[in-house]
């Protein structure tokens, strides 16, 4: 079994200069698509579940599917990650389910909507680090806030990360990776005008901290997908924009190691299902459209794994078990 921490996956990626996508999952088809893409391109991979996804699947269903992904792919390093944990309690729940990695988002209060204070963020993050590291589980935290909202997470206001505050935060919490705000947003409407990321802020942060950097809200929202959704009866308002792949590649070059992708997968699935319903209204076997959606999603993720440079790196290193991670962390304290 190659269940690993995101610490190992991201440090390997950072050292070799490529990015690793973290793809959100809610059901079997999404998990299978991601794992098929990882196998086909020989990529290490992070599958992540939000609190909303865990609730949607009554926890145990998704837990078992994520475990199946690891069992079915013994040669692929897989991290199973909690996206946007909002409290120590939600993190403990995920770790008890067998997650190898967690995010605590203390940039927002427990409601997932209200921006918090620096001290609140440090306190809740420290409590999570202490609990998670004792189990060999790695921790991502966030400083600064993104725009937009998705799955009920987000204040909607962009508040760029202050590089000096980021340095202080990393040293005060002992986290393994840091999510930063450099202008991205959750959801399908990321930019009003052109997609500008604050690369100067990213450069400054990179020069001040030495742990892997995470970019949330990093879907590209390809026009051909939103057009396809609308062509077959969808109603995505004009102005849906994402982060162009060239900007993501630039961000990877400047030190981003983990790239969160959720919206693009949603669009690919919706576009495919709408197309089947419109073109073949006689079909009523869910496999006819869910199966096709799975194939389209697989191809989308294969492209991302190539674009991010993840492809071909699955066998670069031997997986470190959570038991061994536990010892590594224990020797740090
Ligand atoms: Zn996020």
Which residue ranges make up each domain of the chain? 6-332
Q: Which CATH number describes the domain made up of 6-332? A: 3.20.20.70
Q: 214 C-alpha to center of ligand 1: Å?
A: 9
How far, in Å, from the CA of 215 to the mean position of ligand 1? 8
Position 1 pLDDT exceeds 70: no
Contact residues for 282 (Cβ-Cβ < 8 A; gap 6+): none
* Mean pLDDT, rounded, for 43-52: 96
Q: Return the pLDDT at 153.
A: 76
Alpha helices, DSSP H only, in the chain? 6-16, 28-41, 51-56, 60-72, 88-97, 118-133, 163-173, 199-208, 223-231, 245-253, 263-279, 286-307, 322-332
**Confidence (pTM):** 0.96
Does residue 283 have a pLDDT over 70? yes
Tokens of 205: 């942060």
Judge whether 64 and 38 are in contact, CB under 8 Å.
Answer: no
- Ligand 1 mean position, distance from CA 179 (Å): 8
Q: Note the pLDDT tens digit of each residue in 199-225.
A: 999 999 999 999 999 999 999 999 999
Whats the size of the chain, residue-wise?
333
Q: Find the distance separating the first CA and the last CA of the chain, reported in whole Å.
A: 28
Given a contact cutoff of 8 angstroms between Cβ atoms, the answer to whether 208 and 163 are in contact is yes
Find residue 80's DSSP bridge partners.
47
Cα(105) to centroid of ligand 1, in Å? 9
- Residues 229-242 have a mean pLDDT of 91
Catalytic residue among 83, 162, 176, 307: 83
Tokens 């609190």 sit on residue: 51
List residues, by chain if needed, whose CB lies under 5 Å from ion ligand 1: 216
Cα-to-centroid distance, 136 and ligand 1 (Å): 23
Ligand 1 center–CA 30 separation, angstroms:
18
pLDDT band for position 84 (50/70/90)? very high
Q: Which residues pair with 85 in a beta bridge?
A: 104
**C-beta separation of 35 from 73 below 8 A:** yes
Distance CA 6, CA 78 (A): 8
Note whether 137 and 85 are within 8 A (CB): no
DSSP output for 7-30: HHHHHHHHHHT--EEEEE--SHHH
Q: How far, in Å, is the centroid of ligand 1 from the Cα of 147?
A: 10
Provide mean pLDDT across the span 20-36: 98
C-alpha 59, offset from chain centre: 18
| Per-residue pLDDT tens over the stretch 122-150 | 999 999 999 999 999 999 999 998 887 77
Q: Is there a contact between 298 and 36 (Cβ–Cβ < 8 Å)?
A: yes
Q: Report, as an integer, the average pLDDT of 275-291.
A: 98
Residue appearing with tokens 């909002």 = 86
Summarize the confidence of residues 322-326 as an average pLDDT: 96
Mean pLDDT of 318-333: 93
Whether 210 is catalytic = no
The pLDDT score that the predictor gives to residue 196 is 86
**Looking at the predicted structure, is the pLDDT value of residue 251 above 70?**
yes
Residue 22 and residue 34 in contact, taking contact as beta carbons nearer than 8 Å: no
In whole angstroms, give the CA distance from residue 205 to residue 199: 10
SS3 111: coil
Average pLDDT of every residue of the chain? 95
pLDDT score for 157: 79
- C-alpha 283 to ligand 1 mean position (Å): 36
Q: Can you give the pLDDT at residue 291?
A: 98
For the stretch 101-112, pLDDT in tens is 999 999 999 999
């Amino acid at each position: 079994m190659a269940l690993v921490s995101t610490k190992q996956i991201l440090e390997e990626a950072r050292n070799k200069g490529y990015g690793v996508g973290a793809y959100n999952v809610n059901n079997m088809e999404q998990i299978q698509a991601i794992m098929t893409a990882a196998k086909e391109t020989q990529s290490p991979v992070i599958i992540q579940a939000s609190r909303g996804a865990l609730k949607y699947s009554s926890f145990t269903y998704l837990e078992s599917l994520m475990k199946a992904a690891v069992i079915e792919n013994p040669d692929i390093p897989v991290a199973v990650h909690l996206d946007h944990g909002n409290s120590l309690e939600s993190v403990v729940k995920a770790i008890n389910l067998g997650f190898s990695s967690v995010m605590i988002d203390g940039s927002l209060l427990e409601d997932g909507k209200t921006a918090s204070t620096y001290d609140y963020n440090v306190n809740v993050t420290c409590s999570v680090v202490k609990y998670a590291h004792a189990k060999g589980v790695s921790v991502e935290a966030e400083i600064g806030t993104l725009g937009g909202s998705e799955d009920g997470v987000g204040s909607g206001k962009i508040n760029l990360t202050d590089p000096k505050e980021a340095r202080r935060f990393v040293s005060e919490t002992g986290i393994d990776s840091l999510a930063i705000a450099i202008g991205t947003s959750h959801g399908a409407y990321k930019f009003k005008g052109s997609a500008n990321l604050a690369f100067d802020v990213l450069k400054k942060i990179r020069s001040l901290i030495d742990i892997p950097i995470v970019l949330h809200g990093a879907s590209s929202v390809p026009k051909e997908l939103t057009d396809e959704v609308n062509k077959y009866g969808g109603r995505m308002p004009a102005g849906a924009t994402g982060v162009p792949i060239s900007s993501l590649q630039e961000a990877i070059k400047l030190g981003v190691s983990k790239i969160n992708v959720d919206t693009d997968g949603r669009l690919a699935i919706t576009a495919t299902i709408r197309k089947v319903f419109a073109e073949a209204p006689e079909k009523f076997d869910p496999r006819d459209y869910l199966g096709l959606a799975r194939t389209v999603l697989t191809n989308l993720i294969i492209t991302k794994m190539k674009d991010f440079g993840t492809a071909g790196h699955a066998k670069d290193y031997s997986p470190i078990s959570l038991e061994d991670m536990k010892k590594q962390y224990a020797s740090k304290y």
